[in-house]
Structure 1
Amino acid sequence: MQQHIDKWETEFSEVLDKFIETAELKPGMLMVVGCSTSEVAGERIGTAGTTEVAEMLFRQLDRLRRRTGVALAFQCCEHLNRALVIGRKDAEERKLDEVSVIPVRNAGGAMASYAFEKMPEAVVVESLKADAGIDIGDTLIGMHLKPVAVPVRVGRRTVGHANVVLAKTRPKLIGGSRAVYERNPENLSCR
């Protein structure tokens, strides 16, 4: 198994490096992570979650966090209504309401339960609106992204056996045919 995990870690590192280059992640942004460790290992979602895969993914995501300054939130599985594990400080800064539950492998998932154990002062919140996201294994993170979500394409679309979908968000474009969306001197002069 370790040989596979080493290969998957190389793949995931490649995905994250390209995501950092492409998504314009900045300190203070919030990134949601949805992950099925079962899917990474080639099994059906929710059937074979492993701490070993979760540990490898967490290690790489923590590297991304340190490199970019983004806060991470880990989505739990459907048995916890896709609640999220997040650091207490990050939850308080965003005025998120904590809920009473402890994610475990069979109710929360291997990734969320691992994150709950390893993050300093982890708490669980019911919902949030993230600036970016990564979905590993078709876990459906869209409910936790700000509108408007924009797909981010990188060369690799899988880690192990799992599909990987990346997204960033942008502010809504409002207005009609006379609206301007880019700041430049011509657009800012009053007439």
Structure 2
Amino acid sequence: MVDVRTLEDEALHLLDEIKKASFLKEGDLFVVGCSTSEVAGSRIGTSGSEEIAKVMYAVLNKLKEDTGIEPIFQCCEHLNRALLMERHMMKQQGYEEVSAVPVPKAGGSMASYAYKQLQDPVLVESVKGDAGIDIGDTLIGMHLKQVAVPVRISQRHIGSAHVNIARTRPRLIGGERASYEKPSQDVACD
């Protein structure tokens, strides 16, 4: 079993790296995929831990407080990777609620724990997240806006789980005449 104190230290270090990368903006939908089994050193879906989920949730909640992001928790494949969020965010974003309650064996320990912490939790089938973290190769990419861009960090693991972080950017459209820099106010197009 992973040492909870070490896990918390690793997660807080990762939080600092995310904040220093300066890609998060207030109100961003931040998709969280977290296999607590992988964090503990087991194969995904085999030995979930709400104790690990509790540590991860606390750190993600601190990230929310520090940056203003909205964490959205991805469930496991047994709930088709549905996402857990606060009802007010679902309504604000125009998403549609689906019926399920995540539990450790169907939804995963992270989503199950988060469900108990949120004020008015709901599940939705999919979102278009602005950024996200994938802890334990849970495959969050399906829930990110196009175009997803990796965020390079020095800390590549939490416990035994591999960590990936992504942000998104608007699509670059146009051709050879297109400019992607914001023009000064005195530039005109003829």
> Counterparts of 2:17 and 2:83 in 1: how far apart (Å)?
25
> What amino acid is aligned across from residue 65 of structure 1 in structure 2?
K
> Counterparts of 1:82 and 1:172 in 2: how far apart (Å)?
25
Deviation at 1:189, TM superposition (A): 2.5
Deviation at 1:187, TM superposition (A): 8.4
Matches within 5 A, 1:40-189: 40-185=39-184, 188-189=187-188
- Taking structure 1 as reference, are residues 176 and 102 closer, same or farther at Cα in structure 2, changes over 3 Å only? same
Q: Which runs of 5+ in 2 are unaligned?
A: none
Deviation at 1:38, TM superposition (A): 0.3
Q: Which runs of 5+ in 1 are unaligned?
A: none
Percent same amino acid at aligned positions? 53
Deviation at 1:23, TM superposition (A): 4.3
Tell me whether 1:15 sits opposite 2:14 in the alignment: yes
> Counterparts of 2:25 and 2:34 in 1: how far apart (Å)?
22
After superposing on structure 2, the runs of 4+ consecutive aligned residues of structure 1 that deviate more than 4 Å are none
Deviation at 1:84, TM superposition (A): 0.4
Deviation at 1:21, TM superposition (A): 1.6
> Counterparts of 1:88 and 1:17 in 2: how far apart (Å)?
28
> Counterparts of 2:98 and 2:161 in 1: how far apart (Å)?
29
> What amino acid is aligned across from residue 179 of structure 1 in structure 2?
A
- Taking structure 1 as reference, are residues 187 and 166 closer, same or farther at Cα in structure 2, changes over 3 Å only? farther
> Counterparts of 1:141 and 1:8 in 2: how far apart (Å)?
22
> Counterparts of 2:165 and 2:187 in 1: how far apart (Å)?
34
> Counterparts of 2:162 and 2:43 in 1: how far apart (Å)?
12
RMSD: 1.3
> Counterparts of 1:141 and 1:190 in 2: how far apart (Å)?
40
Q: Scaled by the length of structure 2, what TM-score is found? A: 0.97
Mean CA deviation greater in 38-47 or 10-19 = 10-19
Q: Give SS of 2:3's match.
A: helix
- Residues 23 and 152 in structure 1, CA contact (< 8 A), matched pair in contact too: no
> What amino acid is aligned across from residue 96 of structure 1 in structure 2?
Y
> Counterparts of 1:77 and 1:69 in 2: how far apart (Å)?
25
Q: Scaled by the length of structure 1, what TM-score is found? A: 0.96
Name the count of aligned residue pairs.
190
Alignment correspondent of 1:33? 32
- Residues 180 and 187 in structure 1, CA contact (< 8 A), matched pair in contact too: no
> Counterparts of 1:88 and 1:35 in 2: how far apart (Å)?
21
